[in-house]
Amino acid sequence: MNLHEYQAKQIFNQNEIPIPREKIAQTAQGASNIAEEFATKVVVKAQVHTGGRGKAGGIKLANNPDEAFEHANEIIGMSINDLTVRTVLVAEAVNISHESYVGIILDRQTRQPVVMVSPAGGVDIEEVARETPEKIYKVGVDPLLGLQPYQARALAYKLYSESSVVNQVSGILLKLYNLFILNDMSLVEINPLVTDLDGQVWALDGKVNIDDNALFRHSEIESLRDPASEEPTEAEAREADLSFVKLDGDIGCIVNGAGLAMATMDLVKFYGGLPANFLDIGGSSNPDKVVAAMKIITADKKVKAILFNIFGGITRCDDVANGIVTALDRIGVSNEGAPTLPIVIRLTGTNEEVGREILKSVGLVAVDTMAEAVQMAVSLGGGAK
C-alpha cells in the first residue's frame, strides 16, 4: 500500500524528522487560503500515487495566494499517468542550498533492510542507479541489531562534511530506520532531503510503501488508504478478498492460484488475445468469491469472453462448478443488453466428473486442457488481434 506524500510527511513530522509547514487542499480557494495563512512563498504539489509529478506540471511554486489559487486550479483535476489529481499539498517553500537523496528498502537479495543515500538528490533515483550507480552509497542492516549510529554517520559523511549537518542527517537516518521497522515499510524515501541557507535540514518530499502483509498489525495505516486513488474494480476486489489487477485486454480470466493465473494470461497473449485482468480466486471454492469475481469481470465493458482456468487440487471442481452456477443464477452474464458473454471453463482435478455434470445441467461445457480453453476463449472473444 502506497501513502501519499502528505501522509508520509505527517509520519515524518510525528517522529521529529523536520518538514516545512504544510497543509492539504481540495480546492483552489483552499490552496490560496493556506498560502495566505503561511504568508510565504509556497509550493503547490499534486497528491497522486505516481512519479514524474514535476515533469507533468503537477508541482508549482507560488509567490502569493493568487498564484497559489491559479496553480491549484490547474493542478486539481489534471491527470498524471492516468491518475486524476483530487488533492494538492501546499507547503512553505524552502530556500534550497543543497539537495540529496536518502531511502531505505527491504532488499530481497540480501534479505535485509538496506539504507541508501546519494548526493544526486531531487532526481529519479532509478535513473541515478542506472546511469551513475557510483553516486549511490548503501549499507545493509542486520534486522536483529538495527541501524547502528556509526553506520548512519558514515552514510551522512558521504553527503556532507560539516558536523552540524552530518549530525542532523545521521539523526534523520536513525529515525527513518525506526519508522521503517515500526510501520512495516517495504520502502521509504526522502527525495530530496535538503539543506537551506542556514544549514538546517528538511525533508521536502516523502514516499512510503507499506508491506500489505503487515497491514493486519497497522490499523492506523489502513485508515490512510485513499480509495479514490485506486482503480475502482481493484478496490472492490480487495473488499471481496480477491487478488485482482486490471489490464487492457478483452479476455476476462478467473483462475485459482497466482502462478497459474499469470501463466493463463501469458497463454491468452500467446494465442493472439489480450487478457483483461489478473484474477486469483485463491484456494477457496466459496461461491461468493466466484460471484464477486464474475461481477468484477463483467463490470469491464471491454470484456468479450470469460475464461475460467481451475486446477482442482485442494480446491474441489464440484465446489467451483457450483460457484459458477450460483454466480450465473445471481447475476446473469450479459453486458448491459449486449448478448450474453461466452464462458469457457477449464476444469481438471479433484472431483472433475461431478463438476462437469453440474455444469452440463445448466448447459455449460468444461474442456480438459488449458491450451484448449485459452484458444477457445480467444476465438470466442473475437479472435487473435
Partner 1 sequence: MSILVDENTRVAVQGITGRDGSFHTRQMVEYGTKVVAGVTPGKGGQKFDCLPIYNTLIEAVEGEGVNTSIIYVRPPFAGDAIYEAIDSGVGLVICITEGIPALEMAKISAYLKGSDVRLLGPNCPGVITPGITKVGIMPGHIHQPGHVGVVSRSGTLTYEIVHQLTTANIGQSTCLGIGGDPIIGTGFIDALEAFEADPETHAVVMIGEIGGSDEEKAAEFVKNKMKKPVVGFIAGRTAPPGKRMGHAGAIISGGLGGAEEKVKALNNSGIPVADRSVDVVNMIQTAIN
- The residues carrying an active-site annotation are 101, 189
**For the window 87-116, what string marks contact with partner 1 as x by the rule CB under 8 A?**
-------------------x-xx-xxx---
Q: Are 203 and 9 in contact (CB under 8 A)?
A: yes
280 makes contact with partner 1 (CB under 8 A): yes
384 makes contact with partner 1 (CB under 8 A): no
353 makes contact with partner 1 (CB under 8 A): no
CA angle 86, 92, 93 (to 5 degrees): 105
Question: Which member of 78, 245, 325, 333 binds partner 1 (CB under 8 A)?
Answer: 245
240 makes contact with partner 1 (CB under 8 A): no
Q: DSSP label at 4?
A: P
Q: DSSP label at 306?
A: E
241 makes contact with partner 1 (CB under 8 A): no
In 317-380, which ranges are continuous DSSP H helix? 317-331, 352-360, 370-380
82 makes contact with partner 1 (CB under 8 A): no
Q: Which of 249, 235, 263 is nearest to 383 (CA)?
A: 249
Question: Which member of 118, 229, 256, 298 binds partner 1 (CB under 8 A)?
Answer: 256
62 vs 279 by CB, closer to partner 1: 279
3 residue type, one letter: L
Question: Which member of 130, 134, 220, 339 binds partner 1 (CB under 8 A)?
Answer: 130
136 makes contact with partner 1 (CB under 8 A): no
Q: How many Å apart are CA 94 and CA 108, to the nearest integer? A: 36
267 makes contact with partner 1 (CB under 8 A): yes
Q: Grid coordinates representing 92? A: 512553505
Q: How many residues bind partner 1 (CB under 8 A)?
A: 52
Q: Segment contacting partner 1 (CB under 8 A): 63-71, 267-275, 293-301, 334-342?
A: 267-275
Q: Identify the bridge partners of residue 98 per DSSP, sorted by sequence position.
A: 195
**For the window 142-161, what string marks contact with partner 1 as x by the rule CB under 8 A?**
xxx-----------------
232 makes contact with partner 1 (CB under 8 A): no
Q: For residue 148, give the 3-state DSSP assignment.
A: coil
311 makes contact with partner 1 (CB under 8 A): yes
Residue 376 backbone zone (phi > 0: left; psi -120 to 50: alpha; other: beta)? alpha
Q: Segment contacting partner 1 (CB under 8 A): 61-69, 189-197, 213-221, 319-327?
A: 213-221
- The dihedrals phi and psi of 52, each to the nearest 5 degrees, come to 70, 25
Q: DSSP label at 213?
A: G
369 makes contact with partner 1 (CB under 8 A): yes
Report which secondary-structure segment, H or E, holds 33. Answer: helix 28-38
Q: Are 233 and 343 in contact (CB under 8 A)?
A: no
Q: Which of 381, 283, 366, 282 is nearest to 324 (CA)?
A: 366
**For the window 24-63, what string marks contact with partner 1 as x by the rule CB under 8 A?**
----------------------------------------
- C-beta of 264: minimal distance to partner 1 in Å? 9
Question: Which member of 30, 257, 287, 355 binds partner 1 (CB under 8 A)?
Answer: 257
239 residue type, one letter: E
35 vs 179 by CB, closer to partner 1: 179
- The dihedrals phi and psi of 283, each to the nearest 5 degrees, come to -80, -15
Q: Are 359 and 318 in contact (CB under 8 A)?
A: no
220 makes contact with partner 1 (CB under 8 A): no
243 makes contact with partner 1 (CB under 8 A): yes
Cα-to-chain-centroid distance, residue 184: 16
Given CA atoms 155, 160, 62, 128 in this order, what sign does their dihedral have?
Answer: negative
113 vs 121 by CB, closer to partner 1: 113
- Give residues in contact with partner 1 (CB under 8 A): 106, 108-109, 111-113, 126, 129-130, 142-144, 181, 184, 186, 211-214, 216-217, 243, 245, 247, 255-263, 265-270, 275, 278, 280, 311-314, 348-350, 369-371
